[in-house]
Amino acid sequence: MAPLLSAQGLQVRYGAVEAVRGVSFEIQQGEIVALLGANGAGKSSILNAIVGLVPTASGQVMFDGKDITGAAPEGLAPSGLTLSPEGRRVFGTLSVSDNLRMGAFGLTDKDEIAEAWERVYDLFPILKERKDQYAGTLSGGQQQMLAVGRALMSNPRLLLLDEPSLGLAPLIMDQIFELIAKLRDQGVTLLVVEQNVAKTLQVADRGYILVSGEIVEAGKTSELTQSSSMQDAYLGAN
Amino acid sequence: MELFLQQTANALALGGTYALLALGLAVVFSIMGLINFAHGELMTIAGYVLMYCGIASVPFVIAVPLAITASVLAAVAMERIAFRPVRNGSGATMLVTSFAVAMILQVLFQNLISARSQPVLLPALLSDSVRVFGLVIGVNKLAAIASTIVMLVFLDWFMKHQKTGVAMRAAAEDFAVARLMGIRANTVIAGAFALSGLLAGVAAVLWVSQRASVDPLMGFMPVLKAFIAAILGGLGSLRGAVAGGFLLGFIEIYLAAFLPPEMQEFRDPIGLGIVVLVLLIRPNGLIPSATLKAEKV
Ligand SMILES: Nc1ncnc2c1ncn2[C@@H]1O[C@H](COP(=O)(O)OP(=O)(O)OP(=O)(O)O)[C@@H](O)[C@H]1O
Ligand SMILES: [Mg+2]
């Protein structure tokens, strides 16, 4: 079966810095794929390049059989691909419900929009309770839920999550990983970037290990757990 | 006391016009970081439409929407032709572009219309005055106050409850993430210019209604004042722009009315001195924007 998303020789540059040095990977429909690597390995750069937030220096990205290399970000959410960016980046001066409403900006079907609200409020009851509050006044964990909820409002088929558990208390962190598993059951395919390697390997099916902008190992999570490049990736050795 | 109330009505009328202009600057600035000094020329365009309508005996009630429409269309065209190509340039690049647009338009007005001030035919009603609560107030002042209120209520509703308005606020806060949600950059920016054109058009009608004339440089002074008002209120903050506009109107009118005659020639420096004083106490303006802060120690 053709993968839902595939990258071939993807390269990202910031001036003289080569952050991503020609990586290739693919994600099948229904999978949870983890992208692991130390700080500065280039994980966010890959996700941002996929959605067009940073320019792709070379390589090709295909989503659902279409070439989306260098596509403008605004076209992707309506076609079923979205990113919950690193650092939450909720709209702090908008209410919680307006944040969610913006997440569904590209949807036009009334029923689909209604279902999206129901699903998000179902997953995160706290967001419904706080719907009229400014997003900037939510706690860090609540903001993270809002960021994920906002991304879900576009009914994505592929959701890219950039460090969804960053800075969260252990209990909330567990909720985020439960959520990841739950989303897959609902038919969402996920690409997850995480610092919490142990937990990520528990929920993911496959993983890629990134060191200094290159993929050094790929495989089923059960295999990766034992791999030595896993240790190296996080100790920063290469 | 009566003089004071009288001047307060004047201050509300002038401050309201400044507020509308400052809002127009702030809407565009909050979204793309551009201070559009050609905003004043949108006013001038609307002013000339009023003038030509007067010459062609078009009734004022039709001339006003025509003038405002012209200003909106000119704003959208300005974005498309002049600002879109430099959208990703620095703030300085965009600022210089806006000066260039302003000067080109001024030269066009001077050469195609007239370098001199032209009279604008206004309905006699506007120069009448009425008694309100014992005060004699010009109809044009009342109309200015009423139009300002209508515009502020409309804008508040638009930005809070209309999907496009909410998207504009989202884009002002985090443009990249807004685009991720499927909010189109072109739509939001063109929308911001259209709104600024609407505000400039209404402000132009109010401005011309007080003066009954239009000249090629008409837009410069009010937009400079609006710029000061926007800074006073907190650059990029919409509420701040309104507050700054009204405060500046009050400062100018009260100084003109109550400063002793021998000090009148220092009116403008004193007014600006008060503005600077406010900014010393509140460096980010009266109601700072949540996303933009002056970061100097
Ligand atoms: N906008 C930028 N300008 C210049 N260099 C950048 C920029 N963004 C990232 N980089 C550099 O690119 C490299 C990869 O950064 P990236 O953010 O992709 O790493 P990451 O794997 O997501 O790290 P982290 O785990 O800390 O989030 C780093 O060396 C970083 O300094
Ligand atoms: Mg990162």
- At the second CATH level, the architecture of B2-111+136-281 is Orthogonal Bundle (1.10)
Test A77 with B180 for CB contact under 8 angstroms.
Answer: yes
Residue type, B153: V
Q: Which of A11, A17, A88 to mutate to test the pocket of ligand 1 (most atoms within 8 A of CB)?
A: A17
- Looking at the complex, does the CB of residue B170 fall below 8 Å from at least one CB of chain A? yes
Q: What pTM value is reported for the model?
A: 0.89
Residue A234's pLDDT band (cuts 50, 70, 90): low
ipTM value for the complex: 0.90
Ligand 1 site, residue A40, Cβ cutoff 6 A: yes
Ligand 1 site, residue A19, Cβ cutoff 6 A: yes
Task: Write down the mean pLDDT value for chain A.
Answer: 91
Q: Which of A44, A50, A163, A165 to mutate to test the pocket of ligand 1 (most atoms within 8 A of CB)?
A: A44
The candidate with the shortest Cα–Cα distance to A160, out of A48, A78, A21, A12, is A48
pLDDT in tens, A68-84: 998 999 999 999 999 99
pLDDT in tens, A89-117: 999 999 999 999 999 999 999 999 999 99
pLDDT in tens, A164-188: 988 788 888 888 899 899 988 888 9
Test B169 with A103 for CB contact under 8 angstroms.
Answer: no
Q: What is the pLDDT of residue A235?
A: 56
How are beta strands A206-211 and A32-37 bridged, if at all? parallel
Residues of B in contact with A134 (CB under 8 A): none
Residue type, B175: F
CATH of A5-235, one of 1.10.472.10, 1.20.272.10, 3.40.50.300, 3.10.510.20: 3.40.50.300
Q: To the nearest whole angstrom, how far is the Cα of A103 from the nearest Cα of chain B?
A: 5
pLDDT in tens, B3-44: 888 899 999 999 999 999 999 999 999 999 999 999 999 999
- Looking at the complex, does the CB of residue B166 fall below 8 Å from at least one CB of chain A? yes
Ligand 1 site, residue A43, Cβ cutoff 6 A: yes
Residue nearest to atom 4 of ligand 1 (CA): A14
Q: To the nearest whole angstrom, how far is the Cα of B250 from the nearest Cα of chain A?
A: 29
pLDDT in tens, A55-65: 999 999 999 99
Cα B41-B46-B52 angle, rounded to 5 deg? 125
Q: What is the pLDDT of residue A236?
A: 52
Exposure string over B56-70, b if 16+ CB within 10 A, otherwise e: eebebeebbebbbeb
- How many angstroms from the chain centroid is the CA of residue B50? 18
Pick the residue from chain A with its C-alpha nearest to B168.
Answer: A102
pLDDT in tens, B133-142: 888 889 999 9
- Domain boundary assignment for chain A: 5-235
Residue nearest to atom 29 of ligand 1 (CA): A40
What is residue A42's DSSP assignment? S
